[in-house]
Amino acid sequence: MAKAPVLTPQAEDFPRWYQDVVAKAELAENGPVRGTMVIRPYGYSLWERMQAEVDQRIKAAGARNAYFPLFIPQAYFEREADHVEGFSPELAVVTVAGGKVLDEPVVVRPTSETVIGELMAKWVQSYRDLPLLLNQWANVVRWELRPRVFLRTTEFLWQEGHTAHATSEDAAAYARRIAHDVYEDFMVNVLALPVVVGRKTASERFPGAVNTITCEAMMGDGKALQNGTSHELGQNFASAFGIGYLDDQGAQQTAWTTSWGVSTRMVGGLIMGHGDDRGLKVPPRLAPIQAVVVAVRDDDAVLERCRELAAELAGSGVRAELDVNVEVSMGRRVTDWELKGVPVRLELGPRDLADDAVTLVGRISGTKASVPLAGVGRAVADALDAQQSEILSQATDRRDSRTAECAGFEDTLEAARSGWARVSWDALGREEGEALLAESSVSVRCLVRPDGSLPLADSEPDLVAVCARAY
């Protein structure tokens, strides 16, 4: 009898494959309240690595971490009309606490523009207080009607940055800096997803924003995933919350603000952007475990050498794991490590030891080679570097091969059935064409210049719409 596959094949049922990977790689599971999730240790270790890399870049951009309340007065949301309208269907509102009906309902944080705006108004008095660059790592709640673990959950983890500036130019430049120097840099050079950075259309902007910059990544089934956004809020929130300052001439001015965030949705992007029918493929720079040393047999000499090898790798800066769980079959253990997407696997048995060698297996490259134990540190380092480049190349080749240059509405719709379409915004019919695409569950993910770069204004000529089905 043929052995049943560990995972549903992607080509057979991509959503089921995704659910299988989440469960069998022990990443997460559904929480007791519909729409919530429990992130298991291995899944959380992926998030921790993402968090550390993004946080480093945020701090390099000048922002400082703070923390703001989970509960926000409902009245705050009523000060900015577009914001409250955009979030009303998703709000979780507390009306009873401590056994009593509250005098004023409070909202469980869906995002923090309102409460941070209230505090910025207290902290900003003079142009010398600007720019004020803040970030927080937190959980948020948005009541999700169609939940999917990591991709859309009622509660999720994220970072949200909030800044106030003296001029619109400074605010716009900072929003672009976050999009490029923080998000795009991380997503391309660590997460190995070649994102397209573009402007959202008016209908897709963040509620209350005057411009939203998005980072869009292609998943393995050709759909798009919004991996992160950076918003120019103009003076909408500053006016609503009284964020003003005295300029260098002593005149009262209104500040310009931004907000920006990435979330645990990026874990979903990692799974769908790189995974295959054997499970995860984790880029080496991101991987919480870069190399695992696997003892093939229950042999004292083999076990001791495996321990030494794992310690040697850890000492050289490789995030290494030791697997001497020899009571479990080698086949089962190999399957489990492949499911988790560990980039390098070192297999050592009695025969390898006799040859003073170890078998090095690359999860991303699919290669398998015997390397001398004396040079294994260098071989692992080289393999990690090569596989980081290779996984980015694989994702870029897939995106480029499944992106079609289109002339108008019909071929855009056809191309978006299996991949992405690039079409002139004017030839599509702008907002009218966008609305027609939406009737077929295709959206304009973003607007870019013909060369793929980020436009600075919606009014730029020759804008290109990137269209796709999306998560």
Per-residue pLDDT of the chain (471 residues; tens, 9 = 90+): 345 568 999 999 999 999 999 999 999 999 999 999 999 999 999 999 999 999 999 999 999 999 999 999 999 988 876 666 767 778 999 999 999 999 999 999 999 999 999 999 999 999 999 999 999 999 999 998 889 999 999 999 999 999 999 999 999 999 999 999 999 999 999 999 999 999 999 999 998 899 999 999 999 999 999 999 999 999 999 999 999 999 999 999 999 999 999 999 999 999 999 999 999 999 999 999 999 999 999 999 999 999 999 999 999 999 999 999 999 999 999 999 999 999 999 999 999 999 999 999 999 999 999 999 999 999 999 999 999 999 999 999 999 999 999 999 999 999 999 999 999 999 999 999 999 999 999 999 999 999 999 999 988 999 999 999 999
Alpha-carbon span 377 to 347, nearest angstrom: 14
CB 228 within 8 A of CB 187: yes
What are the CB-based long-range contacts (under 8 Å, 24+) for 310-314?
A: 312/376, 312/377, 313/376, 313/377, 313/380
Tokens for 68? Answer: 């703001």
Q: Cis peptide leading into 372, omega within 30 of 0?
A: no
Q: 60: buried, middle or exposed (CB in 10 Å: 19+, 13-18, 0-12)?
A: exposed
Q: Which residues contact 440 (CB under 8 A, 6 or more apart)?
A: 413
Report if pTM > 0.75.
yes
| Dihedral class, residue 62 (left if φ above 0, else alpha if ψ from -120 to 50, else beta) | left
**Domain 402-468 CATH class label:** alpha beta
Alpha-carbon span 332 to 329, nearest angstrom: 5
Q: 330: buried, middle or exposed (CB in 10 Å: 19+, 13-18, 0-12)?
A: middle
- Residue found under tokens 């990977």: 21
* CATH classification number, 14-274, choose in 3.20.20.80, 3.30.930.10, 3.40.50.170, 3.40.50.2000: 3.30.930.10
Tokens for 405? Answer: 């240059």
Alpha-carbon span 1 to 233, nearest angstrom: 61
> Domains of the chain: which residue ranges?
14-274, 291-389, 402-468
CATH 1.20.1260.10 is right for the domain spanning 291-389: no
